Structure 1
Amino acid sequence: MSRMKWDQIGERLFETGLDHGVLFPMGNDGKYAKGVPWNGLSAVNETPSGGEPNAVWADNIKYLNLMSAEDFGATVEAFTYPPEFEECDGSAEVAPGVTIGQQVRKMFGLSYRTLIGNDVVGQNYGYKLHLVYGAQASPSEKNRQTVNDSPEATAMSWSLTTTPVDVPGYKATAHMTIDSTKTDKAKLAAFEDIIYGQDAAGDSAAVESRLPMPEEVIEFFKEVPPAG
């Protein structure tokens, strides 16, 4: 093995950007409804917590460290949101165009992309597709201001907590990522037809967007060993 080298051409990677937000509201049956585009999504600040060491002492020494369970949370910022998010934000429509607040907040799933760049092709190197499960939005502050000589679009934000879902053979999780630079291109394209939906073509009917659970995602991208 040759001596390692740093900052080689094409290996100077970075992450940037946020796009392709999709909201998956949870129905009363406990299943995620079809996805809808989240326009105006400006930030998803991931805030994991837990995973902290709890020291155990014995025989006058630190005997071991027990790690606390990890939890995934996030702060979502946007300039607008799809109508389907209103029930997730504690609103209910009681008459056409009339809504009330302080209602039960529905759980939802979320998908978004973050871009991967390098020193050669910039932001076009690749991206990570993020899947979030079991999310709930907490009440958030919304600031209303008069229009003045320096107008700005009103930014809104929500703190998200999550309830992890089962992953066979692993601990439960609320967050998955799929790296386009490491996965099979054809598989990724087919998977995005699931996440984003697919238009009708020829004899094929249109396919609605849906959020697959972690077990299905793992099986979808798992490498198939060669025959024989």
Structure 2
Amino acid sequence: MRLSWDKAGERLYETGVDRGVFYPFTTGGKYGSGVAWNGLTAVNETPSGAEPTALWANNKKYLTLMSAEELGLTIEAYTYPDEFEACDGSAELAEGVTIGQQDREHFGFCYRSLIGNDDVGTKHGYKIHLVYDCLASPTDKDRSTVNDSPDISPFSWEVTTSPVDVDDSKSTSMLTIDSTKIDPTKLKLIEDKLYGTADAEPALLLPSELVTILES
């Protein structure tokens, strides 16, 4: 069959960011109940590593080694959950009073991006991104006077990640679920776990737990 390009319904693109969820880290490599992250404006992925190193022998290239790949993020938002303060180096000294420069706690994170096409736009589908073992670094916080050109001072955090184990694969810091390719029934089970239900708290799924749902 001869190849064709840009057929109707196949002109795909990704856009947007929404449904951010913060999951506090607990003991034993587990995560606590998720909290909705309101005011999320951007999540920028910044992978690093995976750089080639050439080894030479007998006056020619012998082989190429690749360094490990790491995942970093930049999270931008107009606000953040109160539960995130411990991950931003803050601790409550008394009710309504916090102090900074404290040890930063690890956390898990989940957000969604939209998949659009030329037929139905962003109703085509979405991707859910699960990010594990995050650690936020201190970043600048700019404040300016109120004036005749009103604006909001957004927050921004540089985030590093540490990978978690994946059976029969290399460890990873991110797992992505594509709603256009996964069984709708299993997708609902996954979203009920991630976002919670009337009877269950929202929880971040580890790769092994996700595989259990997909294989059930």
Shorter-chain TM band: over 0.9
Counterpart residue number, 1:203:
none
Shift of 1:77: 0.3
CA contact (8 A) 2:189 2:213 kept: no
Counterpart residue number, 2:210:
217
Counterpart residue number, 1:44:
43
Shift of 1:40: 0.3
Letter in 1 for 2:37: W
Percent identical residues: 58
Letter in 2 for 1:9: A
How many residues are aligned here? 216
CA distance in 1, matches of 2:44, 2:210: 23
Equivalent residue runs for 1:189-208 within 5 Å? 189-199=188-198, 206-208=199-201
SS at match of 2:7: coil
Shift of 1:190: 1.2
Work out whether 1:70 is the aligned partner of 2:69: yes
Letter in 1 for 2:113: T
Per-residue Cα deviation, 1:49-99 (whole angstroms, up to 9, x for no partner): 111101010110011110100001110000000000000000000100000
Shift of 1:29: 5.0
Q: Runs of 5+ in structure 2 lacking a partner? A: none
Letter in 2 for 1:34: S
Work out whether 1:182 is the aligned partner of 2:175: no
TM norm structure 1:
0.93
Work out whether 1:162 is the aligned partner of 2:155: no
CA distance in 2, matches of 1:123, 1:31: 33
Counterpart residue number, 2:103:
104
CA contact (8 A) 2:20 2:36 kept: yes
Per-residue Cα deviation, 1:11-56 (whole angstroms, up to 9, x for no partner): 0000000000000011255421100000001000000111110101
Counterpart residue number, 1:132:
131
TM norm structure 2:
0.98
CA distance in 1, matches of 2:146, 2:57: 65
Counterpart residue number, 1:202:
none
Name the Cα RMSD after superposition: 0.9
CA distance in 2, matches of 1:88, 1:165: 19
Letter in 1 for 2:100: G
CA distance in 1, matches of 2:47, 2:211: 22
CA distance in 2, matches of 1:18, 1:52: 29
**Residues 168 and 30 of structure 1, relative CA distance in 2, 3 Å threshold:** closer
Counterpart residue number, 1:15:
14
CA distance in 1, matches of 2:161, 2:14: 24
Work out whether 1:146 is the aligned partner of 2:132: no
**Residues 46 and 17 of structure 1, relative CA distance in 2, 3 Å threshold:** same
Work out whether 1:24 is the aligned partner of 2:23: yes
Shift of 1:153: 1.1
Letter in 1 for 2:101: Q
Q: Runs of 5+ in structure 1 lacking a partner? A: 200-205
